[in-house]
Amino acid sequence: MQAQEEDLGDMRKMVKFLSDRCHQLEVAYNDRETGFRKEMEEADMQHKKDMALAMAEISELESRVEALSEIKHELNFRVRQLEAVEESGPRPEGSITCGCCLERPARTVVLPCRHLVLCYDCSRQLTTCPICRSAIRERLDVFL
């Protein structure tokens, strides 16, 4: 009987030990789960920020594409107009002469202002438009 009581006491100690260990593991599990949830929320927030930035950049690029498309259409229209003028007869003297050297025909459109005022050589030397003084970002050679 005493052996059984000792066994029962040992078993109670084992149950207590296992119960305490189970509680420790549950606490550790909950701590890790909380940490993982926090990391997931932070990653999700960062993802949302990145997506918002990407969408804003996409929107900006789409606006630029649209603006460039409009410029392209306008330039094509102007080229057609110039071709029509050229086909209709001789041009008045100096009508499309380079605004810088005043010697060669103006064949380069400067962007973003879209002025057709410079010859090829002068357009490569200048950094600002001689008409409006805006910075030249791009050049578009026009063949008339």
Q: What is the pLDDT of residues 39-55, one digit of tens each?
A: 999 999 999 999 999 99
pLDDT at 94: 47
Q: Per the confidence metrics, is the pTM higher than 0.75?
A: no
**CB neighbour list of residue 79: distance below 8 Å, 6 or more residues apart:** 142, 144
For 17-63, give the DSSP string: HHHHHHHHHHHHHHHHHHHHHHHHHHHHHHHHHHHHHHHHHHHHHHH
Domain spans of the chain, in order of start: 1-89, 92-144
Which CATH superfamily is 92-144 part of?
Zinc/RING finger domain, C3HC4 (zinc finger) (3.30.40.10)
Residue 69 pLDDT greater than 90, yes or no: yes
